[in-house]
Amino acid sequence: MTVRWRIERAGRVTSTSDLVWRRAAEGAGEGLVVVATEQTAGRGRHGRRWHSPPGNLYASWLLRPGVSPAAAASLSLVGGLAARDALLAAGLGEERLRLKWPNDILVGDAKLGGVLLEGGGEGDARGIVVGVGINIAVAPEGTGRPTTCLRALGDRATTVDRLLTLLLEGFAARYARWRTAGFAEQRVEWVAAAYGIGDMTSLRIGEGRLDGRFVDIDAEGALWLELAPGRRRRFLAGELVFAGPRAGSAAGG
């Protein structure tokens, strides 16, 4: 069954996900979308703040997949694929666009956008919120990492409304596939677009750090890291940090 979107538009907000959570607590159904022109407290993973000036796409939507947040974790990767679909449809070249596990959308080594999946605790009936931010007109500064935007990449035509339409169309189709077959059916596409696969990396988990080779993403969206020849470990969360540009990597863009 295809999700039916109901879009609510806002101006300057703390974050679109905050508004969706508020509506979820009031009983809103799956498919509620909140899109805003600016966020004052936009957030990324690990509680990081993400500068959200006017001109970019900031949207969050509510899902009620009927599974635990842990079982729904791969929807973050599904969101990345949907964002990639939308950007390709908008005209961005496939050879430049990569997905960095678990939630970044990159052009080369610069961040173009990201996906943040949030869920309540086990047994929480509020559902899952997917938040997506994509830089259209402005590349945020002061983030500690390279950033870019569609305008800087030569795209003068794509608007927030156009990209939102493409994003929601793509996510609806992929979400329907996910509900039928899980992430396994879309995993090959994600791996083909993966940033840095096969490269040495560091995985940060809280205050800890593990070094190894990024070797695979499995059918549940988990990362496999080769810590030493023949010794691999599986991770469901963390942040990949690479030493330099992935220009020589098959998946590096």
* pLDDT tens digits, one per residue of 207-238: 899 999 999 999 999 999 999 999 999 999 89
Question: Which residues lie closer than 8 Å to 212 by C-beta, 6 or more apart?
Answer: 200, 201, 203, 225, 226, 227, 228, 233
45 has a pLDDT exceeding 60: no
* Mean of pLDDT over the chain: 89
pLDDT of residue 252: 32
In the chain, domain spans: 6-192, 200-241
Q: Output the CA angle 232-101-127, nearest 5 degrees.
A: 110
pLDDT of residue 207: 87
Could you confirm whether domain 6-192 is CATH 3.40.30.10? Answer: no
Selection from 26-30, 164-168, 238-242 with the highest mean pLDDT = 164-168
Q: Which CATH class is domain 200-241?
A: mainly beta
93-122 core/surface letters (b: 16 or more CB in 10 A; e: else): eeeebbbbbbbbbbbbbbbbbbbbbbbbee
pLDDT of residue 145: 85
Question: Which residues lie closer than 8 Å to 137 by C-beta, 6 or more apart?
Answer: 54, 55, 56, 149, 150, 151
- Each residue's pLDDT tens digit, 108-143: 999 999 999 998 655 456 699 999 999 999 998 877
98 has a pLDDT exceeding 60: yes
Question: Which residues lie closer than 8 Å to 202 by C-beta, 6 or more apart?
Answer: 209, 210, 211, 240, 241, 242
CA–CA dist 51, 139 (Å, integer): 9
Structure tokens at 170: 């793509």
With contact defined as beta carbons under 8 Å apart, do 43 and 21 qualify?
no
